Amino acid sequence: MDRPERPLTRSDFFSDEDWRRHCLEGGLDPRIDGGRGYSPATSPGHFGGLYNAINGWEPEQYPVRPYRQGGEHLTADQYVDAYEAVATSNVLGQVMNAHVVVAWGTVGLEEEADVAGATERFLEGVRKWTDKVGVLGRWFWVLERGQRQGLHLHLLLHLPRGYQADFKRWASRAIGRISGVEPVNTEQSHTLHVRMDRDEVAFQWRTFRYLFKGLRPGSGIRSPGDARMLLDIADKAGLTLEHQGNFGVKRFGVCRSLAKGARTRHWRHWQQLRHAPNPIDCFAFDDRYVRSGEMLNVIPTLGI
């Protein structure tokens, strides 16, 4: 029997205000979040005000460790999370073949809180669009800060080629509705980029590595062959790192269909069938997971 889904925590939400709203609507106590401790009165907002009015909480009465949101760098855990999400998507038959960039600054959104809210609404729209057109919604995303584009969203997702034009039309309209400003599309500046390539697998892994240029220098993961050995991610994966400053909002995420719990269920199911794909190798950037998925479909038909 599958384990029940884990309860949502503060880390699943873009901002303190979104977390407070979730708790208020669900009748939950946000002061304790997975052992971290959290006081809703530490920052202003409509739902924070409601909590304070209802409960009369005062932050000085509840000493807590501040919740760390985006941080200064992407982490080793986030690298592994994204890699396993891409690998699982490949085994399921979907290459993350589309790289979407949304430059929020070109439509007047420059503050972190505004960009975080806009990103949340845009990703929710992506989920609804994939459901509507029958495309399997599988992706991960990263927020970045650049000198030319300011705060911008990178989204690596699965997008069948026949849907590229339709997605671009929808995304452009969605950005306009969210920001209240018509997206820019000139020779000098573009609000929306949607890139694809004929060699989908190579493009997927090339883009994956590009999106992790904000990784913390020196980040490492244990070697699968020797747990005593720590492998430097940037060196092994060939990443070119860039410092982008500190983020006070959530800057990385994986769609729910590829979140850790969902991935665990998939791999456990494949192992039970005795057709488990290749073990995850977080430094393999080839088509091995795609081929594993193809074998999973073929072997049952052979009666083996």
pLDDT tens digits, one per residue of 148-186: 888 999 999 999 888 999 999 999 999 999 999 999 988
223, 156: one domain: yes
3-class state of residue 117 by DSSP: helix
142, 253: one domain: yes
Lowest mean pLDDT among 137-141, 238-242, 244-248, 269-273: 269-273
41, 101: one domain: no
Is there a domain that residue 295 lies in? Answer: yes
Is there a domain that residue 66 lies in? Answer: no
109, 147: one domain: yes
| Nearest Cα residue to 99 out of 14, 157, 19 | 157
Is there a domain that residue 251 lies in? Answer: yes
239, 97: one domain: yes
33, 135: one domain: no
At CB < 8 A and 24+ separation, what contacts does 265-269 make?
265/2, 266/88, 266/91, 266/92, 267/88
25, 157: one domain: no
Whole-angstrom distance, CA of residue 14 vs CA of residue 8: 12
Is there a domain that residue 2 lies in? Answer: no
Is there a domain that residue 111 lies in? Answer: yes
pLDDT, one tens digit per residue, over 260-300 is 999 999 998 888 877 778 889 999 999 999 999 998 877 55
53, 118: one domain: no
194, 49: one domain: no
pLDDT, one tens digit per residue, over 180-219 is 999 998 888 899 999 999 999 999 999 999 999 999 999 9
Is there a domain that residue 71 lies in? Answer: no
Q: CB neighbours (10 Å) of residue 137?
A: 20
Is there a domain that residue 67 lies in? Answer: no
Is there a domain that residue 198 lies in? Answer: yes
Query: Domain total for the chain?
Result: 2
* Domain range enclosing 143: 76-299
145, 272: one domain: yes
Q: Model-level pTM? A: 0.77
Output the CA torsion 119→121→127→133 (10° steps): -110
